[in-house]
Copies of this chain bind each other. A is one copy, B any other.
Amino acid sequence: MSKFTLAVVAGASAAVGAATTAAIYGLGGSRRQTPETQSVTTATRTGPLPPIQQRDGPHTPGPIIPPVDPSGVFQYGFPGPVNDLHSAVSLTSAFDRAKRNPHWVAEHITPASLLLRNGDRRHSYFAEDPAIPEKFRAKLTDYARSGYDRGHQVPAADAKWSQEAMDSTFWLSNMCPQVGEGFNRDYWAHFEDFCRRLTSFYPSVRIVTGPLYLPKREADGKWRVSYEVIGHPPNVAVPTHFYKIIFAEDGKTGGNVSLGAFVLPNAVIHNDKPLKDFEVPVEAVERASGLEFAGLLPPARRRRLCDEINCSVIVKEYAERQRTMMTPPPAKPGQAGTGLAQR
């Protein structure tokens, strides 16, 4: 069954009855009868499977008509998960209803978009996202006195081009609990600044940001995932790490794309730590998150970001950064002061 068909089922079954679902779904057919998967099936079992007729017992000669309808439960509602794929002017996101954090938030910045200054973060307010059902929503009260920042995934500073654009970065569906001092207000902010400075060398930069919940090897040799959940009752998961996948485009149709993937721990990171220490293969983020980021990008168009530019942060102290929040964006290529040495 194709992804398209599955997606239609997923959408349709939430709204219509079991009869339609069954009709679309083609109940009774096995999904593993395509030549491709059949060969894999055979490979993982001990020898080929006999045709179904030979397996019929004495009670039912001839092919068996399934006596049950497992997908019929959709008549009571499609279980999901629903990933709340949403778009606003400044970001597109998918939401994890079990952890009340986004799965990923995608943004797009250009030299021109960073030059516009029509939005001011002093006019924006953190807000619960009414597009997420109440039962699965992150709440303002979950973060209150939790000890964690409401950490933007798409930074407000990337969406100054209109107040609406900036406002839409303040929904809690664009937030995760982040360690404040030493991370969100420091190294992570320097990393976000690095991403903006990329527009000095690339006319178009796309960034996908999101949380990870990574296992750690313990003293007994076993791997465990362990993370706090904030709120009373506990509601929002505190990620162990955050990733950014960066697509720096050369601006040509079908042109080259310089890829960079970074994974940072949700913890105090010393400013001296080189950004390159956090560089990982895109596939590492994919395995950890269950997501896929560049499956349709042909290898011939791929470049490695950190081969082309100097992947390092510039440390600006928090107070200074706040003061310069509304100063012009980074200089254009060829101008001094971008902080990104081209190799």
Q: What is A's interface to B at a CB cutoff of 8 Å?
A: 1-12, 14-15, 17, 25-32, 37, 40-41, 44-46, 49, 52, 55-57, 59-60, 64, 66-73, 75-83, 85-92, 94, 96-99, 103-104, 106-110, 112-113, 116-119, 123, 125, 127-128, 130-131, 135-136, 140, 161-165, 167-168, 206, 208, 213, 215, 222-230, 234, 237, 247, 257, 283, 286-297
A308–B198 Cα distance when bound, in Å, is: 65
Q: Is the CB of A127 within 8 A of B44?
A: yes
Q: Is the CB of B3 within 8 A of A14?
A: yes
Q: A146's closest neighbor in chain B, by CB?
A: B222
Tell me which residues across on chain B come within 8 A of A297, comparing CB atoms.
76-77
Q: Which of B72, B73, B161 contacts A64 (CB 8 A)?
A: B161
Tell me which residues across on chain B come within 8 A of A83, comparing CB atoms.
10, 80-81, 83
A97 to chain B: closest CB distance in Å? 3
Q: Which of B29, B68, B99, B227 contacts A224 (CB 8 A)?
A: B227
Tell me which residues across on chain B come within 8 A of A14, comparing CB atoms.
3, 295-296
Q: Is the CB of A247 within 8 A of B125?
A: no
The copy count of this chain in the complex is 2
Tell me which residues across on chain B come within 8 A of A79, comparing CB atoms.
94, 103-104, 106, 208, 291-293
Tell me which residues across on chain B come within 8 A of A68, comparing CB atoms.
90, 107-110, 113, 161
Q: Is the CB of A44 within 8 A of B289?
A: no
Tell me which residues across on chain B come within 8 A of A81, comparing CB atoms.
81, 83, 94, 103, 290-291
Q: Is the CB of A106 within 8 A of B73?
A: yes
A44–B138 Cα distance when bound, in Å, is: 13
A67–B297 Cα distance when bound, in Å, is: 23
Q: Which of B27, B89, B117, B288 contacts A87 (CB 8 A)?
A: B27
Q: Is the CB of A71 within 8 A of B31?
A: no
A231 to chain B: closest CB distance in Å? 8
| Top 10 A-B pairs, shortest CB-CB distance | A7-B11, A97-B290, A98-B290, A40-B130, A77-B295, A223-B234, A57-B118, A55-B163, A4-B11, A68-B108
Q: A5's closest neighbor in chain B, by CB?
A: B11
